[in-house]
Structure 1
């Protein structure tokens, strides 16, 4: 795949990442804890399995690029206190959950889940196992910051049944690391990676980031050389989202130090070339995996799905999410817990759920979500099948979208036929832009439109 500078400049515009539809800025406080409690009770007979998400918001230090809901502190008593409320929330939701519902996936995110001491890692996963019906062979994953990590942390994860981990690397160049306040040596990454392999954890992902201050093609090529040599099973290579209006600490990054557009384009080309030659398959939306990985197989079999945990093979699962800011979903509802730590803990202490806002989506939302999901995951959409499923005339219902997609076809991003929409190889880099064509919320007046990071 050879990238066109003119196309990248043309489509480099603000847009959602579509981990949900409608996207989170449209959740409303009018849908709260009582509504979520009713939804939980009414969906226990849905036949859908479960995916559990746990948010651990704490980090030892602040990374200036971070876009997560996190608290930087070295005061571990905050985590000890947090776990008290987290355990209560897990118990409270479990009491509503039908005991025969199988948990197919567990994921811990943050912040830094391995901020927790090893014994607290073991204690938390044991509490989850005691309150939910965990399926044999369930996917159990955790995000890891290699700094402050010990061999005991890794052993606690392995002993607790974690079979997927995601190691936050971002960049191995010292100048870049200093600019974003995340210092971690190449030797440290090798050591931690070796611990995880030695512990028998079968699937290791590495997170990288492009677009960071002082990043150059030469410096990032060196990073890729080191990473490819370690041979992780998956790679997630995110574009840095500079949104200082949302994340005030990003003002600590000087915009003049960020790579210019030609450099960002060259970095994307470098990724495609180096990882392609190394045998990784480009899934789309910044994700790469080895050819035998289940994400690649799911995409080939058109069973891949996308939610707040990114790409997943667990399509038909409700998500029960625990902790501050965590987002849950059923087939028709999204809800988010309180984003402020003190507010989250207060809601739990009062004996209720932590829900702060949410949305019950309409039939129209569901069909548009399905179109967006098919294109972002399957990279193709059969119009006849879609019409039968949703009882619409596709070309009439999506006339505006098709007009925009026709321009994208001219640019070589998508192929349109009378019965199919097919994302091209080049179009995989522009999946957010393609999905935006189906987003009815983006046509709302500007004053109601949330500000997003740029798509490229």
Structure 2
């Protein structure tokens, strides 16, 4: 699809829809799920590896574009206090499992895990290894802010076995950086990546954004050319989500400086063109990976998954989240910790789990979740496969697929009219030119989307 090809496309892609890193999505979690449910689900875990996520909510400087649960770290004492609760939570979760849990993935996110001192990095890693057994081939990933990094921190991360680093960039243009309160030079970023590679880190990801204030096609091209020169293994290129009603810090960003829908579409198309020309393969709606990277292989082989970190080649069905606001996923459903750091610490300090809300999965949820994940990962809906997997319980989704193919049933069917390629009586795919509409296609299968007052980001 060419940018600005039609006013209908612009209207459709200006709509808001979930990113579907889970189904049901987090706005539809409730306090009907609590600590007792999480404890019961943990006790019932099968004997297979799990994935771990740790949320470090602190940042030295708050970036105005960010909508994550983070807070400034003007003093280090609150960070040290939080780490004590995080290690206590890890030990508590491990005790609830039926045996010693084996972890094949461990992701440190935030916030900025790189605000930790070298000693704290190693102490936290040791506490996690005491609570969980890491497999020999475990992926240990850390989100890195280059502005925090020192040779000592790099050495500490190397000692704990870091083998995949996710580097925040967003944009290299100084005008854009000033507007989002993230001043970070290309040379600084290059030096950190070189430092990681010199210490044997085999996987390097870069996060970037389009749709930022004062960003233009020309400035985005310059950023991407400099990014490509760093030759990361993966690039996550997200559309900036301007949600100031949810993230108060975004109110510092002048809304009038944001690119409009046509400009956002053009920027997304330009980015895809530049990255694929440089040898990256498009993965899902917003990732790019070198052909030999595990994410690209998973996409080619139909093994791509979606979780709270976005696209992943992680095959494990259980994700255990630790820290304030962290979300966990078990076969029975989701649970989320208290979002406020103080409340999280109060609950952990009292010897309880920090679970505040969640969602138990019904069979209908599982059917729709499978359909949504395959649309988001493979850009297709296979009615025959869904029927073989779920039998008669697949019927509501099959009816939706038939309506989408026929272009009936109101929104979003009308927005998708003519954009789907029928592959069977109840099957369709989104051809390459229609893949920006994947979130709208997935939304058609979302039974909760019209419930409540959840608000989401633009589709593109």
Instruction: State the TM bucket, normalised to the shorter chain.
Output: over 0.9
Aligned residue in 2 for 1:424: 431
Using a 3 Å threshold, how does the CA distance of structure 1 residues 382 and 400 change in structure 2: closer, same or farther? closer
Aligned residue in 1 for 2:16: 14
In structure 2, stretches of 5+ residues that fail to align are 408-414
State whether residues 224 and 274 of structure 2, in contact with CA within 8 Å, keep that contact through their aligned partners in structure 1: yes
Q: Deviations along 1:90-146, whole A, 9 cap, x unmatched?
A: 010111224354211100100001111111111111111111111111111010111
Please list, as runs of the form range in 1=range in 2, the aligned pairs for 1:36-435 lying within 5 A after superposition: 36-41=38-43, 43-44=44-45, 46-392=46-392, 397-407=397-407, 410-418=417-425, 420-435=427-442
- Return the offset for 1:427: 2.9
- Return the offset for 1:22: 0.5
**Tell me, what secondary structure is at the counterpart of 1:138?**
strand
Q: Deviations along 1:25-63, whole A, 9 cap, x unmatched?
A: 11111211122112211x23x244200000000001111
**Tell me, what secondary structure is at the counterpart of 2:381?**
strand
- Return the offset for 1:401: 4.4
Using a 3 Å threshold, how does the CA distance of structure 1 residues 133 and 414 change in structure 2: closer, same or farther? farther
**Tell me, what secondary structure is at the counterpart of 2:448?**
helix
Distance 1:266 1:424 in 2: 19
Using a 3 Å threshold, how does the CA distance of structure 1 residues 403 and 334 change in structure 2: closer, same or farther? same
Stretch moving more, 414-423 or 87-96: 414-423
Distance 1:261 1:378 in 2: 25
The partner residue of 1:452 within 442, 447, 456 is 456
Q: Deviations along 1:189-226, whole A, 9 cap, x unmatched?
A: 11111111111100100000111110011111111111
State whether residues 53 and 321 of structure 1, in contact with CA within 8 Å, keep that contact through their aligned partners in structure 2: yes
Distance 2:392 2:342 in 1: 46
Stretch moving more, 188-197 or 394-403: 394-403
Relative to the length of structure 1, the TM-score reads 0.95
State whether residues 404 and 417 of structure 2, in contact with CA within 8 Å, keep that contact through their aligned partners in structure 1: no
Using a 3 Å threshold, how does the CA distance of structure 1 residues 262 and 382 change in structure 2: closer, same or farther? closer
Distance 1:254 1:303 in 2: 41
Stretch moving more, 101-110 or 413-422: 413-422
- Return the offset for 1:163: 0.6
Distance 2:326 2:406 in 1: 38
**Tell me, what secondary structure is at the counterpart of 1:317?**
coil
State whether residues 5 and 265 of structure 1, in contact with CA within 8 Å, keep that contact through their aligned partners in structure 2: no
**Tell me, what secondary structure is at the counterpart of 2:449?**
helix
State whether residues 5 and 262 of structure 1, in contact with CA within 8 Å, keep that contact through their aligned partners in structure 2: no
RMSD: 1.7
Q: Deviations along 1:273-294, whole A, 9 cap, x unmatched?
A: 1011001111122111011111
State whether residues 405 and 428 of structure 2, in contact with CA within 8 Å, keep that contact through their aligned partners in structure 1: no
- Return the offset for 1:324: 0.4
Stretch moving more, 334-343 or 122-131: 122-131
Distance 1:436 1:50 in 2: 29
Tell me if 1:25 matches 2:27. yes
Using a 3 Å threshold, how does the CA distance of structure 1 residues 420 and 282 change in structure 2: closer, same or farther? same
- Return the offset for 1:416: 4.1
Distance 2:305 2:169 in 1: 25
How many residues are aligned here? 451
- Return the offset for 1:413: 4.5
In structure 1, stretches of 5+ residues that fail to align are none
State whether residues 284 and 311 of structure 2, in contact with CA within 8 Å, keep that contact through their aligned partners in structure 1: no
Distance 2:180 2:386 in 1: 45
State whether residues 413 and 430 of structure 1, in contact with CA within 8 Å, keep that contact through their aligned partners in structure 2: no
- Return the offset for 1:173: 0.2
- Return the offset for 1:406: 4.2
Distance 1:394 1:128 in 2: 40
Stretch moving more, 315-324 or 359-368: 315-324
**Tell me, what secondary structure is at the counterpart of 2:148?**
coil
Q: Deviations along 1:269-314, whole A, 9 cap, x unmatched?
A: 2111101100111112211101111111112222211111211222
**Tell me, what secondary structure is at the counterpart of 1:137?**
strand
Distance 1:28 1:106 in 2: 27
State whether residues 284 and 378 of structure 2, in contact with CA within 8 Å, keep that contact through their aligned partners in structure 1: no
